[in-house]
Amino acid sequence: MGRTVPDAPPFFEGRVSDYLEAFFRDLGVPFERRTVSPGRDNLIARYEPPGRPRRTLLWDAHQDTVPVEGMTIEPFLPSVEGGRVYGRGACDVKGGMASMLAAFARLVRERPAGSCRVLLACTVDEEYTHTGSSALADQGLAVDLAIVAEPTMLDVVTAHKGAVRWKVITEGVACHSSRPQDGVNAIYRMAPVLASLERFAARLPGLRTDPILGPPSLSVGRIEGGQSVNVVPDWCAIDLDRRVIPGEDVDGVRSELRQALEADLGPEHSFAFSEPWVRMPSLSPQCSRGWVEPVRSALADALGSPPREAAVPYGTDAGPLAAAGIPALVLGPGDIAQAHTKDEWIEVDQLERAVEAYYAVALRLNEVDPS
């Protein structure tokens, strides 16, 4: 997703979806284009290998990107310099998508015996609310393992935190700013809520932790309120980002925070919670148990050395897939440190190695019996 100027309407993934539709049509494979929301379509292509495959893999790469404000390079005119491809989304995650497309096309052309069936999903809205992967998970696809493309340096990520985001709102009574005593300032009413949130955020790491991912966290990321400087504000809202670990759920963490605020502030301080606009499940290594070592073995043969098994603090489309009961892990080219940057880039060598990695996994996992 990108914008031409701040606060302008976003351009959604339509042009990318059109490109992908033409790609799959030219490749001659069956595919479907499913609308998730207006102007935002998931595409799912299918490779059917010769014989009777025992295993079906789901490859997932998201179509959208973050906005381009502040970039120091042309965001959508890719360039190749010094063994790197530059451009918005090069690392997150058009690079991973390109590698998946190349590996998928190679399977279609070569039709190797004994490979897995592969479903390649190109989903929308990963960077904001994950509606694309949630819609994909709701389809009830019969797959054995999902591999989600994100910049992991081709390490196998088996665990990550999730996220819940929602607003806390305080209300007041508007009046002319020359007579503030006639109104109730909603921004002032937010001040004790903010102080209480800061205290809770400091306590949160001591409440629980995950042996791999560490503790959950809470952050206030935005604040807004009022209409004009000469009007006492009758509303104020803040945006919360609550990172969740395996074992936590959306409703539970919201209820926990509400109770903590009410106990700390007392009945004289009122506030309201909005509905969450992000409900990103965490990813537990238990989800892909039995698949990790076969994947690492396949990658070791293809790339010359076994990749690390890793955990990351950010969320991915693997979360909704795992929550739907699909074993899922994250694997892709590039370094997350380059994602969303002002001069985003990815190494060509990583792209080429990722093609070999995805292809090898499709060849090697068909006879695996995870235990």
Render pLDDT for 238-280 as a digit per residue (tens, 0 to 9): 999 999 999 999 899 999 999 999 999 999 999 999 999 999 9
Domain residues of the chain, as ranges?
Answer: 14-160+282-364, 162-280
Q: What is the reported pLDDT for 210?
A: 97
Confidence of residue 155 (pLDDT cuts 50, 70, 90): very high
Distance, in Å, from the CA atom of 160 to the CA atom of 210, rounded to the nearest integer, reads 10
pTM of the model as a whole: 0.91
Q: Which DSSP state fits 30?
A: -
Average pLDDT, the chain: 96
Distance, in Å, from the CA atom of 188 to the CA atom of 233, rounded to the nearest integer, reads 9
Q: Are 307 and 154 in contact (CB under 8 A)?
A: yes
Give the pLDDT mean for 348-357: 98
Q: Examine the pLDDT at 173 and tell me if it is beyond 80.
A: yes
Distance, in Å, from the CA atom of 282 to the CA atom of 163, rounded to the nearest integer, reads 7
Give the pLDDT mean for 19-33: 98
Q: What is the reported pLDDT for 4?
A: 37
More confident residue, 185 or 5: 185
Q: 185-244 pLDDT, tens per residue?
A: 999 999 999 999 999 999 999 999 999 999 999 999 999 999 999 999 999 999 999 999
Output 260-267 pairs: Cβ under 8 A, ≥24 positions apart.
260/196, 260/200, 261/193, 261/196, 261/197, 261/200, 264/196, 264/199, 264/200, 265/192, 265/193, 265/196
Length of the chain counted residue by residue = 371
Q: What is the reported pLDDT for 12?
A: 87
- C-alpha 215: how far from chain center: 20
* Other CB atoms within 10 Å distance of the CB of residue 15: 11
Q: Which one is the CATH code of 162-280: 3.10.20.90, 3.30.70.360, 2.40.30.30, 2.60.40.10?
A: 3.30.70.360
Q: What is the reported pLDDT for 250?
A: 86
Q: What is the reported pLDDT for 10?
A: 56
Nearest to 323 by CA among 125, 151, 93, 162: 162
Q: 261-271 pLDDT, tens per residue?
A: 999 999 999 99
Distance, in Å, from the CA atom of 271 to the CA atom of 171, rounded to the nearest integer, reads 7
> Cα Rg for the chain, rounded, in angstroms?
23
Under CATH, which number does the domain 14-160+282-364 receive?
3.40.630.10
Dihedral (CA of 119, 123, 129, 134) sign: negative
Residue 355 falls in which region: left (phi positive, over 0), alpha (psi -120 to 50) or beta: alpha
Strand partners for 122: 43, 61
